[in-house]
Amino acid sequence: MSIAAASHPRAQQYATRAAFFIPGFAAAIWAVLVPYAKARTGVDDGTLGLILLCLGAGSLTAMPVAGALAARFGSRRVMVATTAIICTSLPLLAVAPNAWLLGACLLLFGAGMGAMDCVMNMQAVVVERESGRAMMSGFHAFFSIGGFVGAALMTALLSAHAGPLAVCLAGSAAMVLLAAMAAAYWRGETLQQDGPMIAWPKGVVLFLGVLAFIVFLAEGAMLDWSAVFLADVRDVTPSMAGLGYGVFALTMTVTRLFGDAVVERLGRMRAIVVGALLAAVGFAVLTWVTPWQASLLGYVLLGLGCANIVPALFSLAGNQTRMPEAVAVTAVTTLGYSGVLAGPALIGFAAHGVGLVGAFMGVAGLLVGVAVSVRWLRV
């Protein structure tokens, strides 16, 4: 760590928030670009789905490699490199002329996003530990804030008839500027440890990774299936069906902004239990309460419940002593984010067999399992 960073802990905290903001901002830009990419390449929905898998494949492949590189070379170098990858690949997504090149660009973009997701959590664990207080929920809130800002800004620019390439160049320039201001306060020290830098998680780390997978699965269910549920099960018009996810995302973001105080008061273990039970009740409310306007309370409960669980799990992974910190945080990140990628497909398979209501209640049961299993969690 540089002398400048060591003498400015508050600046490190702001810089860590910037690190979380960047991938959230970039993800929102891509989300806005998807219809343009589909029209430009002329692919159908099925082919687009296969292309989108490249994003997840790049992320999951890069996460363990990024964790190992950060341990060896320091978080700062890896985060600077991954920011460069994100900012370089984003404009390429706006001009890729065919499905193959779009998939290749998405693979690169996903690798940058996955690497940043992993290493920013490693940075956050150290900064939180040195502060002596809970900060992880607040850090994660800035990923969501980046998403809101990115979506709003890019939608405004596109509405003003700016082209996709111009929009992406503007977004990349904004991220480069933010990274330039924050990079001096990103952690630069290396981690000296025995054993391999990449290893299959075991013991408590595997336990934490499975819990993260379930909670991310619940979040992925909201991202990909909440609008379908309101449209198909509750007969809500398509123009209003996205309201459920909007309520969920906004509630989770606001809760994370104030979540560190809650975690300080309850403790991480109790915060996980309370959050998982709230989220399970949220699934029950949104699936069983009618009319649909009243069932929106379920999305609020889900946002309240999910908000602080994942940040608490990352903090626990960074502070356990069974595996090296870099390996543990990388493993929990990889297992957790695989829940976002696999979750929508698993929900789809379950819905085909037992219906979407049954699938959602299955996720609620898994969340109750998270709450119960904490009693055996020893960090």
Domains and CATH numbers, the chain: 3-185 (1.20.1250.20), 203-376 (1.20.1250.20)
CA angle 155, 37, 81 (to 5 degrees): 80
Mean pLDDT, the chain, rounded, equals 86
DSSP designation for 375? G
Residues 72-76: what's their mean pLDDT? 87
The listed range with the strongest mean pLDDT (58-72, 155-169, 231-245, 263-277) is 263-277
Evaluate if residue 379 carries a pLDDT over 70.
Answer: no
Evaluate if residue 175 carries a pLDDT over 90.
Answer: yes
Q: Return d(Cα 127, Cα 83) in angstroms, integer.
A: 20
Q: Measure Cα distances from 305 to 50, 233, 354, 371 in Å.
A: 32, 23, 25, 11
Q: Measure Cα distances from 10 to 7, 144, 312 in Å.
A: 9, 21, 21
Residues 279-302: what's their mean pLDDT? 91
Name which residue leads in pLDDT, 192 or 117: 117
- pLDDT tens-digit map of 308-333: 999 999 889 888 878 877 788 888 88
What's this model's pTM, rounded to 2 decimal places? 0.80
Confidence of residue 3 (pLDDT cuts 50, 70, 90): very low
Evaluate if residue 170 carries a pLDDT over 60.
Answer: yes
Burial (Cβ within 10 Å: 0-12, 13-18, ≥19) of residue 50:
exposed
What is the predicted pLDDT for the residue at 297?
A: 94
What is the predicted pLDDT for the residue at 239?
A: 66
CA angle 291, 294, 297 (to 5 degrees): 145
Evaluate if residue 197 carries a pLDDT over 60.
Answer: no
DSSP designation for 42? T
Q: Which residues of 194-211 are buried (b: 16+ CB within 10 A; e: fewer)?
A: eeebebebeebbbbbbbb
Evaluate if residue 302 carries a pLDDT over 60.
Answer: yes
